[in-house]
C-alpha cells in the first residue's frame, strides 16, 4: 500500500516523469570515429563472410574483425543515414531464442530493424515443433523456405551444428550452452578498440586484462579469450580470477591453445590483490547448466570500494547479479553499458555481410 501511494504521488509529480534524452557523460563513452579514421575500408574482406555460418570466434582473424569494426563504426557514427537507405529491405530474419535473452535477441532484432529488414521471432521451444519431437535438422530445412538468415540461441552445445547441416541460409550462433558466444566477443573487442585504438596496431603500452570467471564454463569468456589471441602483442598478461570452487578452470586443451595463440595466462583467486594493476576488468558470473544456470564466484564482487586503477574500464556481458555493484554505473569505469550498446552496431555489420548487402553500404560516409 505504501509503495502504491508512493507510485501514485510520483505519477502526479511532473518533475519525476521527465527524463533527459541524452545520458550525462559520466561513464565510458565509446567513440567510434577514431576506428573509422584508422581502418581503411576493404570490401573484399567483408564479402568473404557471404555464404558462411558463424559458429565460433575461431572464424575471425584480425583483418576480418577490423573490417567488421569499421562497418560497425560507420553505422554507429551515422545511424540515421543507414536506416534511411534500408540495406536489408526484402530480407527476413528468423530469430530463434530457445534460451532466455535480453541483450542478444533484442540487439540482433534492433540491428535488423535498423537496416530495414523484417523479422520472425521464436522465444520459446515449446511453441515450435520441437515440443512434438521435431528435429532441429527438419526445422532448419523449413527455415530455408521462410527466411534469409537464422540467429539461434539454445542451451544445447550441439543444436547450432544440428541445424546448420540442413540450412542453405546462414546461421549465427547466439550462444550455445557453455560453448561459445562469438558475437558477444566481437562486441567486447569492438568496445576495447574504441577505448584504446592503438591496440589494433600493437603500438601502445601492453595492457593487463583480468577476467573474473571460469573459462571452461562461461561461453562469453571462452569466445573472448579466442579473439584476444589476435591481439596478443598488445596484451601483457591475461589473469583469470576465480573463487577457487571450480574443479576445472579450463576445458581440455583450452589453456594450451590460448598460450599457443600468444596469450600469457595466470590463474589466481585473490581479486583485490590484482585489481590495482588491471587496465580491463571483465566480470561474468553466469554459467549455463543444462536447462538452468549457475551463478558462480559469489565472493567475487566489484564495488565502488574496489581498488580500481584510475583509468581502468569494467566490462560485463550482462545480465548482472550481485557481482557488479550499481554504485559503479555512474563512474568512468563503466564501459559495460557502452559495450551492450555497441553490440547493436557490430551485429548490424555482421548481418549486412551475411546477407550479401555490403554493396549498399560501403563507400558511404
For ligand CP, the binding residues (CB under 6 A) are: 101-104, 175, 181, 184, 317-319
- Angle at CA 320, nearest 5°, toward 315 and 326? 80
Shortest distance, position 225 Cβ to ligand CP, whole Å: 16
Residue from 155, 211, 247, 179 nearest 323 by CA = 211
Q: What is the DSSP letter of 59?
A: G
Cα gap 287→340, rounded to integer Å: 19
E strand spans, the chain: 92-97, 118-122, 149-154, 171-176, 207-212, 235-241, 265-268, 280-283, 286-289, 292-295, 313-315
Shortest distance, position 59 Cβ to ligand CP, whole Å: 18
Q: How many CB atoms lie within 10 A of CB 156?
A: 17
Backbone angles phi, psi at 193, to 5 degrees: -70, -30
Shortest distance, position 175 Cβ to ligand CP, whole Å: 6
Nearer to ligand CP, 185 or 240 (CB): 185
Nearer to ligand CP, 45 or 187 (CB): 187
Shortest distance, position 204 Cβ to ligand CP, whole Å: 27
Nearer to ligand CP, 46 or 346 (CB): 346
Contact in structure between 150 and 171 (CB atoms under 8 Å): yes
Shortest distance, position 284 Cβ to ligand CP, whole Å: 9
Shortest distance, position 223 Cβ to ligand CP, whole Å: 11
Nearer to ligand CP, 147 or 175 (CB): 175
Nearer to ligand CP, 170 or 317 (CB): 317
The grid coordinates listed for 14 are 511532473
Residue from 68, 77, 167, 80 nearest 115 by CA = 80
The grid coordinates listed for 147 are 527466411
- Angle at CA 360, nearest 5°, toward 355 and 365? 130
Shortest distance, position 141 Cβ to ligand CP, whole Å: 27
Nearer to ligand CP, 67 or 176 (CB): 176
Nearer to ligand CP, 105 or 114 (CB): 105
Shortest distance, position 324 Cβ to ligand CP, whole Å: 13
Nearer to ligand CP, 104 or 234 (CB): 104
177: left (phi over 0), alpha (psi -120 to 50) or beta: left
Residues 6+ apart with CB under 8 A from 90: 117
Distance from the Cα of residue 66 to its chain's centroid: 16
Shortest distance, position 328 Cβ to ligand CP, whole Å: 18
Cα gap 55→52, rounded to integer Å: 9
* 162 sits in which H/E element: helix 159-164
* 184 sits in which H/E element: helix 182-195
Cα gap 75→142, rounded to integer Å: 32
Shortest distance, position 145 Cβ to ligand CP, whole Å: 27
Nearer to ligand CP, 297 or 317 (CB): 317
Nearer to ligand CP, 184 or 255 (CB): 184
Tally the C-alpha atoms within 13 A of residue 301's C-alpha that lie toward its C-beta. 11
Amino acid at each position: 500500500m505504501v509503495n502504491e501511494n508512493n507510485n501514485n504521488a510520483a505519477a502526479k509529480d511532473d518533475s519525476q516523469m521527465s527524463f533527459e534524452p541524452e545520458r550525462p557523460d559520466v561513464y565510458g563513452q565509446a567513440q567510434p570515429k577514431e576506428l573509422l579514421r584508422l581502418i581503411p575500408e576493404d570490401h573484399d574482406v567483408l564479402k568473404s563472410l557471404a555464404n558462411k555460418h558463424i559458429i565460433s570466434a575461431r572464424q575471425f582473424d584480425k583483418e576480418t574483425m577490423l573490417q567488421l569494426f569499421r562497418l560497425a563504426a560507420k553505422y554507429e557514427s551515422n545511424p540515421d543515414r543507414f536506416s534511411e537507405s534500408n540495406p536489408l529491405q526484402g530480407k527476413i530474419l528468423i530469430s530463434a531464442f530457445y534460451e532466455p535473452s535480453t541483450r542478444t535477441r533484442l540487439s540482433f532484432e534492433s540491428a535488423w530493424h535498423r537496416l530495414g529488414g523484417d523479422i520472425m521471432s521464436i522465444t520459446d521451444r515449446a511453441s515450435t515443433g520441437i515440443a512434438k519431437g521435431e528435429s532441429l535438422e527438419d526445422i532448419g530445412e523449413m527455415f530455408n523456405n521462410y527466411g534469409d538468415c537464422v540467429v539461434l540461441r539454445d542451451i544445447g552445445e550441439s543444436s547450432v551444428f544440428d541445424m546448420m547441416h540442413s540450412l542453405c541460409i546462414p546461421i549465427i550462433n547466439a550462444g550455445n550452452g557453455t560453448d561459445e558466444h562469438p558475437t558477444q566477443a566481437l562486441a567486447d573487442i569492438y568496445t576495447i578498440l574504441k577505448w584504446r585504438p592503438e591496440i589494433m596496431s600493437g603500438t601502445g603500452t601492453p595492457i593487463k586484462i583480468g577476467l573474473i570467471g571460469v573459462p571452461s564454463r562461461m561461453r562469453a569468456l571462452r569466445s573472448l579469450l579466442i579473439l584476444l589471441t589476435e591481439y596478443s602483442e598488445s596484451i601483457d598478461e591475461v589473469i583469470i580470477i576465480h573463487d577457487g570452487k571450480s574443479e576445472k578452470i579450463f576445458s581440455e586443451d583450452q589453456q594450451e591453445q590460448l598460450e599457443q595463440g600468444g596469450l600469457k595466462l595466470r590463474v589466481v583467486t585473490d581479486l583485490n590483490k590484482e585489481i590495482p594493476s588491471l587496465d580491463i576488468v571483465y566480470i561474468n558470473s553466469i554459467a549455463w547448466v543444462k536447462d538452468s544456470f549457475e551463478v558462480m564466484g559469489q565472493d567475487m564482487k566489484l564495488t565502488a570500494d574496489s581498488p580500481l586503477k584510475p583509468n581502468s574500464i569494467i566490462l560485463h556481458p550482462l545480465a548482472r547479479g550481485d557481482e557488479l555493484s550499481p554504485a559503479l554505473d555512474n563512474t568512468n569505469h563503466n564501459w559495460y553499458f557502452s559495450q551492450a550498446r555497441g553490440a547493436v552496431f557490430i551485429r548490424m555489420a555482421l548481418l549486412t555481410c551475411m546477407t550479401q548487402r555490403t554493396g549498399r553500404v560501403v563507400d558511404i560516409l
